[in-house]
Amino acid sequence: AISLYERTLADRTRVLGEDHPNTLTTRNNLASAYESAGDLGQAIPLYERTLADRTRVLGEDHPDTLTTRNNLASAYRSAGDLERAMPLLERTLADCVRVLGEDHPDTQVVRSNLDVARNG
């Protein structure tokens, strides 16, 4: 999957540009594939870059931005960096509740990730 995401990212960047929402989605998905493969050294910087770009292009409250923020926080947690993970998860949960609502599936995912980070 990683090689396909890398190829798709290169193609989308070339055809659509660095800031196109589909390019940003592919970059987020590539980071997720790295994380799933246990390569947090590749995943975390890619999530950080994608979060910065999604925030700039789509805004703080866009659902895609919230998704990437949650993914980054979860990667921090997986890396054992709770100092960065916890505040990011708490902020993301508050924003998801405000933007998406208490019962939205994305809100529930962030709440679950925060529970895991709090309780191990």
In this structure, what is the dihedral angle of CA atoms 105, 54, 92, 67, given to the nearest 10 degrees?
A: 30
Domain count, the chain: 1
pLDDT band at 65 (very low <50, low <70, confident <90, very high): very high
| pLDDT the model gives residue 42 | 98
| Full-model pTM | 0.96
pLDDT band at 85 (very low <50, low <70, confident <90, very high): very high
Q: If you average pLDDT over residues 71-76, what whole number do you get?
A: 98
- Select from 116, 61, 68 the least CA-distant residue to 94: 61
| 8 Å CB contact between 46 and 31 | yes
Q: How far apart are CA 73 and CA 90, in angstroms?
A: 10
Q: In terms of residue numbers, what domain contains 40? A: 2-119
Q: How far apart are CA 86 and CA 54, in angstroms?
A: 21
User: Residue 20 sits in a domain of what CATH number?
Assistant: 1.25.40.10
| pLDDT the model gives residue 120 | 78
